[in-house]
Amino acid sequence: MLFSQKRLPLAVAVTAFVAAAPVSAQQLEEVIVTAQKRAENLQDVPISVSTVSAEKIADNTILNFAALADFVPSLHIADAPVNTNIYMRGIGSGNNRGFEQSVGMYLDGVYLGRGRQYRSALMDVERIEVLRGPQGTLFGKNTVAGAINISSASPVPGDDMTGEINASIEENGGQIYEGFIQGGTDTLAVRAAFRYRETDGYVYNAYLDQDEGATEEQGARITVVWEPSDSFSANLKYTNMQRDRDGAASATWKYLSPSERNADVPNRSDFANTAYQIMDVFFPDFPGIAGQDFTTYKDNGYGRSQDDGIGIGLKPENSDDEIENISLNMSWDIGNGTLTSVTGFASYEYFDDVDVDWLPLQFIDRSDQHEYDQFSQELRWASQIGDRFSYTVGAYYDENELDMLGQVVIDTNFDGLFPEFVALANGLPAAAAPLMPQNLLAVLTGDSPLNGIPGYGVYSANQVARNHSFNQETESWAVFAQGTFDLSDTLRVTLGLRYTEEEKDAVSDQKLGDSLCGITGNLEGGTQGQCGAYNNWLGVVQASSFNTYNKYWVGQRKTDDLSPSINFQWDMSDSAMLYISYSQGFKSGGFSAADDGNPGDLPVGVPPIPPAVNNGFQANSYVSNVPNEDFEFDDESVESIEIGGKHEFLDGAMRLNWAAFYSEYDDLQTTIFKGVGFAVKNAASSEVQGVEVDWLLQVTDSLRVGVNAAYLDASYGDFKDGPCNAIQLDQNSACGTPAGIAAGSSNDLTGVSTLYASDWSGNAFVDFRTQLGGMELFAGVDANYRSKFSSAGDDDVNDDIDSYTKVNARIGLGGERWEVMAYGRNIFDEAALQQSFDTPVLAGSHTWYMDEGAVFGVRGTLRF
């Protein structure tokens, strides 16, 4: 690597500057937050809150929300194949796109409720507040685990015109350019910010002989602030962000040998067995490559040759996002109160194509195209009555629509490898492939086994597909109130209440297709009679092998919730406070967006029409209209108790904030990948308890140190019908279903840790700044630690992620209008992982998502 030789000198230089710091304590700066929808000193807020400042983001080159999570104990954010995992205190939402989030995100006061919106970059941010625990009263539904409150930078009317430009060059072909310019009049100010980033990726694809995960990001934000009087202000923001990534940092890491397959998954499907055997013949070196750090070996949809373009799917493996947000915050001071209006428009579009076999085979491809539109409006009135009572009342309205189009294509010809494999398996040269059955289906549906006799079955489609459309419309409204009464000069009680109603309508429409009569399910290349006959076999194959059917499912649901909260706060002194709180919250239920799953009136994997009818030539017009039990999932609710304290010592030079909590969740919404699809379940209950500590010390005028740490014990309280792992499903495909449980085949997850729930997590840092000849010399080191956690949800130890520690370092020099910094992220090249799960179809094998390794770079800043 370009900067790899500089790791040790950078760390030594930082340590030397820190050790040379003079001793003379200073007070810590006051931190202002809006965790209770009003500006307050962090030390006065009776909530477990961590803050990340713009300076912290810049110093540590925190690029996105996934990187931000490293600096906040108990928070986990990471990309997944079809969604983004966001978990706090071991509670979050899985990969089903029908789920709302457990950790609500608010950008400039506007709720953004979809996991995909967490993939945007951090651009021109002033402050991020991470609120842990249920935030039901003021922030509303879908904050059962917490909320992330982001405030972007805004101009101030009357200030001089200013601006800043930053340019960074780093390893892996990384370039980052960002900046802003702002100015205006005494009553009107405008700020324009931009950000551009590109990188070649940090994973090597040994099959394609190229780097994987090349990314290009660009974004812009316009902010207009208008303050025509002392009593009125308006803040309008428009944000557009785009992101394009080629490939992904994912790889199959565990690949079963022939003996392991026979021992672990002896009942594996014909598709799994064929894929394994083709890999053994054509890619015998694959087991030695699987599991190497920062390495993958997959074709990304190209098949045998990249030169002839993609073989299946709509494009090579790629993720393309565009996000737009508009917010309008208006505030009027009227009498002794303030009326606030927050109006929001949010939308995104994305187009993903994923090589979901994670092999160097043209085998399985998944494409997804999504559109999401949301409008929200909140009105709040904040005031006080007398000297002892202050209150906030408000109303909230939200409507949104999610449109999804998805396609999964399975190539049973394996881009020509299957007939070659058949020839070789029968002692013939590969050149005999044209005389062999051309695909697996020709063998499975015929009477010509692999016996050297050229022949075709009654159904010989090279590719089969499922084409899924999902639409969900949501409308919700809420009213809320929170009041604080001073029982004395040092003791106060806060009561809160929020009532919410919500309606959802969903349509899940799926059409099966094949290469004979149309991949998209439309009649192409065959007569009605031929395609009717083929479609019978298509239905048989898709049902028996992938539990997938033609369907048209419609769902409607309405729910309401009343979430109360109460908080007692005791000011022990001017520099110490204790609090205890009780709160409830809920996350709304909805409908599963999964494309697989048997109809409600058919057992798992059972075809709607038996295959042996008139030699298989019978039209199959079956379309399921009966959803299964997974299609609709229930509301999730939580009750939580928290005790905490906020303290300052040494005349304000040391700050210690802590919180201890216990939460019980009922009907916890869970999802799990089962090898060929996702299952959605409401776990009966889960219990979460732990302790969080934030400690900060201004050692001298130049030296500041801090530790943020958390201990977490998060487990399922009652989950006897938990999802089964690949080994259990091989033994009984109905494992975990009512039929399987009745037969004694289940996976009791009671007492098992919830997902992404590290027992220990923390961040420790040292910051050093001092004057040097009219310039400022600065340096710092951050260490981020997470202990082992589960990432798959079926208690498969193969998918546990080992503990890891990432260390970042920086050193720089700056003047009034310039700055230069050398930095390193994950300087010891820790091979940290984000997630592991069952490799689709390839029962017993596992795939992981890799986090970024060591990256070193330099950044220059100009201010004007």
Q: With DSSP H G I counted as helix, E B as strand and the rest as coil, what are the percentages for the chain, rounded to 5?
A: 15, 50, 35
Q: How wide is the angle at C-alpha 176 spanned by C-alphas 173 and 182, nearest 5°?
A: 170
Q: Identify which has the larger pLDDT, 453 or 261.
A: 261
Q: How much is the pLDDT for 457?
A: 64
Q: Which pLDDT tens digit goes with each residue over 315-338?
A: 999 999 999 999 999 999 999 999
Nearest to 613 by CA among 535, 706, 667: 535
Exposure class string for 80-89: b at 16+ Cβ within 10 A, else e: bbbbbbbbbb
Q: State how far the Cα of 860 lies from the Cα of 3, in Å rounded to an integer.
A: 17
Q: How much is the pLDDT for 279?
A: 96
Average pLDDT rounded to a whole number, residues 626-653: 94
Q: How much is the pLDDT for 15?
A: 39
Q: State how far the Cα of 816 lies from the Cα of 813, in Å rounded to an integer.
A: 11
Helix (H, G, I), strand (E, B) or coil at 742: helix
Nearest to 563 by CA among 599, 587, 542: 587
Q: How much is the pLDDT for 36?
A: 87
Q: How much is the pLDDT for 242?
A: 97
Residues near 55 by Cβ (< 8 Å), separated by ≥ 6? none
Q: Residue 526 pLDDT > 80, yes or no?
A: no
Q: How much is the pLDDT for 357?
A: 95
Task: Measure CA of the first residue to CA of the last residue in the chain; give whole Å.
Answer: 35
Q: Identify which has the larger pLDDT, 849 or 15.
A: 849
386: left (phi over 0), alpha (psi -120 to 50) or beta: left
Q: State how far the Cα of 608 lies from the Cα of 586, in Å rounded to an integer.
A: 38
Q: Which pLDDT tens digit goes with each residue over 426-473?
A: 999 999 999 999 999 988 876 444 333 344 567 889 999 999 999 999
Residue 545 near residue 271, CB atoms below 8 Å: yes
Return the minimum-mean-pLDDT range out of 528-537, 627-636, 825-834, 843-852.
528-537
Query: For 571, how many CA atoms within 13 A lie in the half-sphere containing its CB?
Result: 13
Q: Which two tokens stand for residue 568?
A: 């007692």
Q: Which two tokens stand for residue 301?
A: 């949809």
Q: How much is the pLDDT for 678?
A: 63
Beta bridge partners of 104: 147
Q: State how far the Cα of 248 lies from the Cα of 215, in Å rounded to an integer.
A: 10
Q: Residue 557 pLDDT > 90, yes or no?
A: yes
Q: State how far the Cα of 468 lies from the Cα of 179, in Å rounded to an integer.
A: 42
Q: Identify which has the larger pLDDT, 606 or 393.
A: 393
The amino acid that residue 669 corresponds to is: Q
Q: Which two tokens stand for residue 758?
A: 């590290």
Q: State how far the Cα of 861 lies from the Cα of 60, in Å rounded to an integer.
A: 15
Residues near 824 by Cβ (< 8 Å), separated by ≥ 6? 3, 6, 7, 10, 808, 809, 810, 854, 855, 856, 857
Q: How much is the pLDDT for 39?
A: 86
Q: How much is the pLDDT for 195?
A: 97
Q: Which pLDDT tens digit goes with each residue over 212-241?
A: 999 999 999 999 999 999 999 999 999 999
3-state secondary structure string across 557-577: EEEEEEEEEEEEEEEEECCEE
Q: Identify which has the larger pLDDT, 431 or 98.
A: 431
**Average pLDDT in the chain:** 89
Q: Residue 736 pLDDT > 90, yes or no?
A: no
Residue 424 near residue 430, CB atoms below 8 Å: yes
Q: Residue 613 pLDDT > 70, yes or no?
A: no
- The H helix count followed by the E strand count for the chain is 12, 42
Q: Which pLDDT tens digit goes with each residue over 80-90?
A: 777 788 999 99
Helix (H, G, I), strand (E, B) or coil at 21: coil
Q: State how far the Cα of 361 lies from the Cα of 347, in Å rounded to an integer.
A: 36
Beta bridge partners of 785: 762, 805
At residue 835 the predicted structure's pLDDT band, cuts being 50, 70 and 90, is: very high
Got the DSSP string for 261-312? HHHH-TT--HHHHHHHHHHHHH-TTHHHHTT-TTEE---TT-TT-STT--SS
138: left (phi over 0), alpha (psi -120 to 50) or beta: alpha
At residue 13 the predicted structure's pLDDT band, cuts being 50, 70 and 90, is: very low
At residue 612 the predicted structure's pLDDT band, cuts being 50, 70 and 90, is: very low
The amino acid that residue 278 corresponds to is: I
Q: How much is the pLDDT for 448?
A: 42
Q: Which pLDDT tens digit goes with each residue over 100-135?
A: 888 999 999 999 988 888 888 999 999 999 999 999
The amino acid that residue 165 corresponds to is: I
Q: Which two tokens stand for residue 232?
A: 């009125």
Q: Which pLDDT tens digit goes with each residue over 281-311?
A: 999 999 999 999 999 999 999 999 888 888 8
Q: State how far the Cα of 103 lies from the Cα of 91, in Å rounded to an integer.
A: 8
Average pLDDT rounded to a whole number, residues 509-533: 72
Q: State how far the Cα of 643 lies from the Cα of 181, in Å rounded to an integer.
A: 44
Q: Residue 622 pLDDT > 50, yes or no?
A: yes
Nearest to 82 by CA among 369, 282, 288: 369
Q: How much is the pLDDT for 454?
A: 41
Return the minimum-mean-pLDDT range out of 11-20, 198-207, 327-336.
11-20
DSSP state of 137: H
Q: State how far the Cα of 391 lies from the Cα of 376, in Å rounded to an integer.
A: 23
Q: How much is the pLDDT for 809?
A: 97
Residue 714 near residue 758, CB atoms below 8 Å: no
Residues near 467 by Cβ (< 8 Å), separated by ≥ 6? 405, 406, 407, 510, 511, 512, 513, 519, 520, 521
Q: pTM of the full predicted structure?
A: 0.90
Beta bridge partners of 683: 668
Burial tier of 524 (Cβ tally within 10 Å: 0-12, 13-18, 19+): middle
Q: How much is the pLDDT for 329?
A: 98
Q: Which residues in 30-133 belong to E strands, given as ranges?
A: 32-33, 40-41, 49-53, 75-79, 84-88, 91-93, 103-107, 110-112, 125-132
Q: State how far the Cα of 469 lies from the Cα of 552, in Å rounded to an integer.
A: 10
Got the DSSP string for 463-502? EEEEEEEEEEEEEEEEEEEEEEEESSSSEEEEEEEEEEEE
DSSP state of 753: B
Q: Which helix (H) or strand (E) holds 18?
A: helix 7-19
Q: Identify which has the larger pLDDT, 253 or 547.
A: 253
Q: Residue 24 pLDDT > 50, yes or no?
A: no
Burial tier of 239 (Cβ tally within 10 Å: 0-12, 13-18, 19+): buried
Q: State how far the Cα of 281 lies from the Cα of 814, in Å rounded to an integer.
A: 60
Q: How much is the pLDDT for 258?
A: 94
Residue 49 near residue 132, CB atoms below 8 Å: yes
Got the DSSP string for 325-374? EEEEEEEEEETTEEEEEEEEEEEEEEEEEE-TT-SSSS-EEEEEEEEEEE
Question: Rg (Cα) of the chain, in Å, rounded?
Answer: 29
Q: State how far the Cα of 502 lies from the Cα of 486, in Å rounded to an integer.
A: 35
Q: How much is the pLDDT for 4?
A: 38
Q: Which pLDDT tens digit goes with each residue over 575-596?
A: 999 999 999 999 999 999 989 8
